[in-house]
Amino acid sequence: MRLSPVKRLVLETMWVLDNPAKAVYIAQEVGLGFPSVMMHIIGLSRMGFVATPEKSYYTITENGKKALGFPEINGEMAQQILEYLPAEKSFHFYADVGKPLDMFAASLQDFCDKILKVDTSSIEFHIDRGDFEAWFAGLGDMELARKTLLVKERKTSGDELRRKFCEIVKRRYGELLKIRRDATVSG
């Protein structure tokens, strides 16, 4: 089933938030009026893409995530995404074109640590160029690449950008660890 552009935007916003949220907050994040967003949330709920875990709070369902078109990650794929990489495949941080910072991340866990230490201007530089998205896609994590693009589209900067981006990467890292652990336990 195809989603209208606005329904897709609402669903993607809920996906990025990754926590139950009030419709007013979702509307603020989407940048549309509350009545319009509420109408779309109701429609998405009827489609089975949104749930109400508690009164007045909404969250994306597994069916909603599938509707966004991401491949399902199994234990083997999670392991591959979480592996340590050789230096040539690691993410190398730059201040600008031709200005390396002599800092690199050799894994997603390492990336989580380094993103807290690197200057925000470097984060802005890489976000604007799409470098993070490309690296995450190269790791095989299309979901994290897409979430990074959505952060970029919101045009945040400075410490707010670092906070949102770091939160998304850490949450995804935790999800991948759980997928890998669950696969190991059941396998």
* pLDDT, tens digit (0-9, with 9 covering 90-100), for 160-176: 999 888 888 998 999 89
Shared domain for 56 and 90, answered yes or no, is no
Q: How many domains does the chain have?
A: 2
Shared domain for 157 and 103, answered yes or no, is yes
Shared domain for 54 and 121, answered yes or no, is no
Does this model's pTM top 0.85? My answer is no
* pLDDT in the model for residue 121: 94
Mean per-residue pLDDT over the chain, rounded = 90
Over residues 92-96, mean pLDDT: 95
* pLDDT in the model for residue 153: 82
Smallest CA-to-CA distance from 14 within 33, 32, 27, 3 is with 27
1 pLDDT more than 70: no
Shared domain for 95 and 157, answered yes or no, is yes
Looking up residue 33, the CATH number of its domain turns out to be 1.10.10.10
| Residues 186, 75: Cα–Cα separation, whole Å | 10
Domain ranges, residue 30: 5-67
* pLDDT in the model for residue 15: 86
**CA distance readout (Å), 114 to 57, 68, 81, 122:** 34, 29, 17, 11
Shared domain for 84 and 173, answered yes or no, is yes
